[in-house]
């Protein structure tokens, strides 16, 4: 059997303290017994399941909800004192309990109690029950305290382990960062050295390529110069040259002259050899342009000379088809 003891105050006698004991077998809805005492006298009564159902029907409330309200009023006692109120009349031994909602209150139930002939026995049972409850609560408190101490020790151990793990993690991160920095610096130094070697390897190739190009241009220019010298020598034999008149003679004295183009080309080649590879490309380009332009001019002059010679000798003139 389950029971509960609570301390209550009556509305009619608020200064007097009453002790209310409620006991039941399986469930509060199956019926319960009430024992009330003020420390001197005692009263007892019982509420059956049929009475509980009748009270629920009278209040137009579901039975389970009504049983829940009875539990809150008689057993739990966690609600404020002004929510559930009790009243008892010693003359007719009528005990009632009601619930107040703001300005409205309604009776949850009532019953007539019978005075107990030996209230000392009832009070003794109540005191024994209260002492047993206190002992049980102390035992539970000690057990919970031991569990709390164990949990506290476990928590302190876990905290120490966590601190060690955090310290190890920080040290590991610092070590990894240092290693990463070292590896990164080594990679950067290696990349810089490779770039330097690549640059050094590319510079001789460019120099050799420039030298080859300059040598090729020089050789081609020399070949063109030799060919041009031959053509100019032939032209100089055919072309008239300036003459100096000697007094007393009718024939002019011919003086051999050097063509101006040959002198200019020699000067350009001399500049190419003197200035080196730095300006060879530009001078070679100028030389090539000069040779092409001058050859074109000489060929044109040669054609005009041949044409004038044929015009003076009509027998050698040929008509092209």
pLDDT at 83 (0 to 100): 81
H-type alpha helices, 239-279: 260-275
For 2-117, CATH number? 2.170.210.10
pLDDT tens for 63-104 read 889 888 888 888 876 666 678 888 888 888 899 988 888 777
Query: Encoding tokens for residue 41?
Result: 């006298």
Q: pTM for the complete prediction?
A: 0.48
Query: Euclidean distance between the first and final Cα of the chain, in Å?
Result: 148
Q: How many CA atoms lie within 13 A of 209 on its CB side?
A: 6
pLDDT at 184 (0 to 100): 94
pLDDT at 99 (0 to 100): 86
- Return the domain boundaries, the chain: 2-117
pLDDT at 242 (0 to 100): 45
pLDDT at 81 (0 to 100): 65
* Residue 290 contacts residue 264 (beta carbons within 8 Å): yes
pLDDT at 238 (0 to 100): 46
pLDDT at 6 (0 to 100): 86
pLDDT at 272 (0 to 100): 55
* Residue 63 contacts residue 29 (beta carbons within 8 Å): yes
List strand residue ranges (DSSP E) for the chain, in order: 2-9, 17-24, 31-37, 42-48, 84-89, 94-101, 104-112, 114-115, 243-244, 253-254
pLDDT tens for 186-219 read 999 999 999 988 888 887 766 666 667 777 767 7
Identify the segments of the chain with pLDDT beneath 50: 231-256, 307, 311, 314-321
pLDDT at 203 (0 to 100): 78
């Amino acid at each position: 059997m389950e029971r509960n003891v609570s301390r209550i105050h009556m509305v009619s006698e608020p200064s007097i303290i009453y002790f209310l004991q409620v006991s039941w077998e399986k469930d509060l809805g199956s019926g319960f017994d009430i024992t009330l005492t003020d420390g001197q006298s005692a009263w007892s009564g019982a509420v059956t399941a049929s009475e509980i159902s009748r009270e629920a029907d009278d209040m137009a409330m579901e039975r389970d909800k009504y049983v829940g309200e009875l539990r809150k009023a008689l057993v739990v006692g966690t609600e404020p004192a002004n929510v559930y109120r009790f009243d008892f009349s010693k003359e007719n031994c009528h005990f009632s309990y009601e619930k107040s909602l703001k300005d409205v209150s309604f009776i949850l139930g009532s019953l007539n109690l019978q005075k107990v002939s030996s209230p000392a026995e009832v009070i003794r049972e109540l005191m024994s029950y209260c002492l047993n409850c206190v002992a049980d609560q102390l035992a539970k408190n000690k057990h919970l305290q031991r569990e709390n101490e164990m949990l506290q020790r476990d928590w302190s151990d876990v905290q120490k382990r966590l601190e060690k793990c955090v310290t190890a993690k920080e040290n590991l991160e610092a070590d990894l960062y240092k290693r990463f920095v070292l590896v990164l610096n080594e990679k950067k130094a290696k990349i810089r050295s490779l770039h330097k070697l690549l640059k050094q390897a590319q510079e001789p190739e460019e120099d050799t390529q420039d030298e080859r190009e300059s040598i090729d241009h020089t050789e081609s220019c020399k070949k063109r110069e030799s060919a041009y010298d031959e053509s100019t020598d032939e032209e100089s034999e055919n072309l008239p040259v300036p003459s100096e008149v000697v007094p007393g003679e009718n024939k002019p004295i011919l003086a051999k002259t050097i063509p101006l183009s040959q002198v200019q080309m020699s000067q350009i080649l001399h500049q190419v050899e003197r200035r080196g590879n730095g300006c060879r490309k530009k001078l070679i380009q100028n030389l090539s342009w000069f040779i092409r332009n001058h050859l074109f001019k000489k060929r044109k002059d040669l054609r005009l000379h041949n044409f004038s010679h044929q015009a003076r000798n009509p027998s050698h003139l040929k008509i092209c088809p």
